[in-house]
Chains A and B, each alone.
Chain A
Amino acid sequence: MTSPEDQGWLHPAPALWHMRQAELGVVTVVLALLIGPIFTAAFGGVAGVISVVAVGAAGALTAWFVRRRFLAWRYQERHEDLIVARGVMVHRLSVVPYGRMQFVEVTAGPVERMFHLSTVKLHTAAAASDARIPGLAQDEAARLRDRLTELGESKAAGM
């Protein structure tokens, strides 16, 4: 079994971290703008300042967590299978043989498109298999999709 220190692990693009930061920043600012005036009106100026600071702190804490999550996500294309590892609280590691792939799904939501990113997901006959790699640069996602499709066809195994 290869350990995380081994060579060959690939990571989502750094743009995913930027995307997460942007998402988080927007949410934090919107929350602060909403909660600040409400608290100021209800309990006075001090409460408003405290609430805005609390929202900011919560945002920073989430950012730290999201950063760890981003760093934990990695994948490795091996000779016969794809390994995806992720998770901070719950560590998950999936090994999906190319021959078992039913199809590869590449999705890119509106925010992902702004950062030129895509998510690649592998589907097998088992509902429980979760091999999902978010935040791949679009050309890397296309390369991975083509390679996985090609390998899946050459190694396909029946039910």
Chain B
Amino acid sequence: MEPADGEWHRLHPLTPLARSGRVVPALVLGFVISSAHTNGGKSSGQGYILIAFGVISAVVGFIHWMVTRWRIEGDTLRIETGLIRRDSRRLPLARIQAVDIFRPLLARVLGISELRIRLAGSGSTDGKLAYLAESEAIAVRGILLGQRHEPDGVTIDTPERPMATVTTGRLVGSVLLSVVSIVLIGTVGTLLVLDHFAPRAATAAAGVLAVYLFSFASVMWRRLSGQYHFEAVEAPEGLRIRRGLLQTVSETIPYGRIQAVRQVQPFLWRPLGWCRLEVDIAGATRRNQRGEGTGVVRKSLLPVGTRHDSWHMIVRLLGGPAPDRTPPPRKARLKAPLSYHFLSAGHDDTHAVCVTGRLNKETTWVPLEKCQSIRRVQGPVQRLLGLATVHVDVAGKSTHAEFRDRTVEESDHLVGRLSELSRQARRHPEPPPAGRGRPESPGVPAGWYADPSGRHAWRFWSGEHWTEHVGDGGTAGIDPPHPS
């Protein structure tokens, strides 16, 4: 069955099993605890209650599967579910910001996956299809990310270009070199030493601290298992990230959906030259947050990497070398004595970049196309020194690029120039990354670029010559670059 045939589809038949399987560990735990409490004897009654719970959850799962169906109607995905309260959801394809495929451990065993669709804008919610067969999930993802159902569009394995991977050793190192782990290891070490001299005090302290230690350890474990086997690749429909130890995740972010790119160099990683990369994409607005900015989902692009890895990825994401930065004038040191060290900012025709922070050096790149508003703020101290700060706001609460403490003349100029540039960028949206770079000359890194022949949206550049691999939306095809 083709996913895009406009017919109603059901979820995978194993869905009830996978859904009710999620409660099995809790049930087993409950059973163990209850039988331990009652010391055998009359535990069988409680055992029956637990079995009844299991049966009920299986029946609920089955009913959920029975009443859930989905179909693709032109350019919307429609999901209907619910027995008593019918829930019919339409997800316009044009508003999709990212598509993630989740595979929890049990679903991996059963060969099925969950599709999560992130939408932007107020009043929208994320769509979820749990569970689909693996091949079906990948096909649906291709359709959702812009692939139109052309009858002759042959879907073959799209050549993906690896961008970055994280070795297990470096991942473990990065988790250990964090504040959380240092606190954890330090506390455990102190307790061990204390245990040697004053065992009773150590036991008491351990009892008090146990909850905190456990939560710290679980934070570390989540980082480790979530980013395990991290791999970022460049696919024709977007940037794809695969990661996970027990539950694997495959996230796809269309290139034009990135609201901001952030590079963080934590204090502890700086001697090793490591950094991490994050992107912001627009997400669903929280239910209780009335119009105060669209929700933003932050995704890790590179949990830990060398500066070279990150530089390479940024060049690919921005479609060219990053804009040059200049530090603020020297007198800004009087206003910001601590943070002056890294402070710098700059922009070119399409992106603004700024560096802030003292302990953690943070670099933020913002595509001017995504700029929501531009603000100039001048406080009393800044006015005395003849300085002003220019903010470039993007969706959400957390991120924006700021040209901090520039001279008044420069800030006046920046406000005009940046609003003009962002207007132009909005009118002519960016082609996929590196669309601007003309990769005719060798030395330009391999990847997907705008097809020079104009017959397709993208063509794969091997690093030396154009290949026959082309992409239109999510469909990949074969078309020689120079037809004879």
Q: Which residue numbers of B lie inside 8 Å of A, CB to CB?
A: 94-95, 97, 120-122, 257, 259, 282, 291-294, 370-380, 383, 388, 391, 393-397, 400, 412-413, 415-416, 419, 422-423, 426
- Which residues in chain A, 83-97, are within 8 Å of chain B measured between CB atoms? 89-97
* Cβ 8 A contact of A92, one of B94, B376, B397, B412: B376
- Pair B291/A123 contact, Cβ less than 8 Å: yes
Chain B proximity mask over A121-159: 1 for CB below 8 Å, otherwise 0: 001111111110000000000000000000000000111
A81 within 8 A of B: yes
A1 within 8 A of B: yes
* Cβ 8 A contact of A126, one of B120, B122, B400: B400
Give 12 A-B pairs besides A3-B412, A96-B373, A125-B395 with Cβ atoms closer than 8 angstroms. A90-B380, A95-B374, A97-B422, A99-B426, A123-B291, A124-B372, A124-B395, A126-B393, A127-B292, A127-B397, A128-B375, A159-B120
- Pair A159/B375 contact, Cβ less than 8 Å: no
CB contacts (< 8 Å) of B415 on chain A: these are 1, 93, 95
- Pair B426/A130 contact, Cβ less than 8 Å: no
- Which residues in chain A, 1-40, are within 8 Å of chain B measured between CB atoms? 1-3
Q: Which 7 A-B pairs have the closest CB atoms?
A: A127-B293, A125-B395, A1-B416, A129-B373, A126-B393, A126-B372, A125-B294
CB contacts (< 8 Å) of B419 on chain A: these are 80-81, 95, 97
CA distance in complex: A102, B285 (Å): 13
- Which residues in chain A, 66-104, are within 8 Å of chain B measured between CB atoms? 80-81, 89-97, 99-100, 102-103
Q: What would 25 A/B residue contacts be, using CB atoms closer than 8 Å?
A: A1-B415, A90-B380, A91-B388, A92-B377, A93-B375, A93-B376, A93-B415, A94-B375, A95-B415, A96-B372, A102-B294, A123-B291, A124-B373, A124-B395, A125-B282, A126-B373, A126-B394, A126-B395, A127-B397, A128-B400, A129-B393, A157-B426, A159-B121, A159-B282, A159-B395
Sorting the interface of chain A by its residue count into under 10, 10 to 19, 20 to 34 or 35 or more gives: 20 to 34
- Pair A102/B373 contact, Cβ less than 8 Å: no
Q: Across the interface, name the chain B residue whose C-beta is closest to A1.
A: B416
Q: Across the interface, name the chain B residue whose C-beta is closest to A89.
A: B380
Nearest-Cβ distance from residue B124 to partner chain A, whole angstroms: 11
- Pair A130/B375 contact, Cβ less than 8 Å: yes
Q: Across the interface, name the chain A residue whose C-beta is closest to B122.
A: A102
CB contacts (< 8 Å) of A93 on chain B: these are 375-377, 415
Q: Across the interface, name the chain A residue whose C-beta is closest to B380.
A: A89
Nearest-Cβ distance from residue B166 to partner chain A, whole angstroms: 29
CB contacts (< 8 Å) of B121 on chain A: these are 159
CB contacts (< 8 Å) of A96 on chain B: these are 372-373
* Cβ 8 A contact of A97, one of B94, B294, B426: B426
Nearest-Cβ distance from residue A124 to partner chain B, whole angstroms: 4
Nearest-Cβ distance from residue B107 to partner chain A, whole angstroms: 30
* Cβ 8 A contact of B375, one of A92, A97, A102, A123: A92
CB contacts (< 8 Å) of A91 on chain B: these are 376-378, 383, 388
Q: Across the interface, name the chain B residue whose C-beta is closest to A88.
A: B380
- Pair B400/A158 contact, Cβ less than 8 Å: no
* Cβ 8 A contact of B396, one of A81, A100, A125: A125
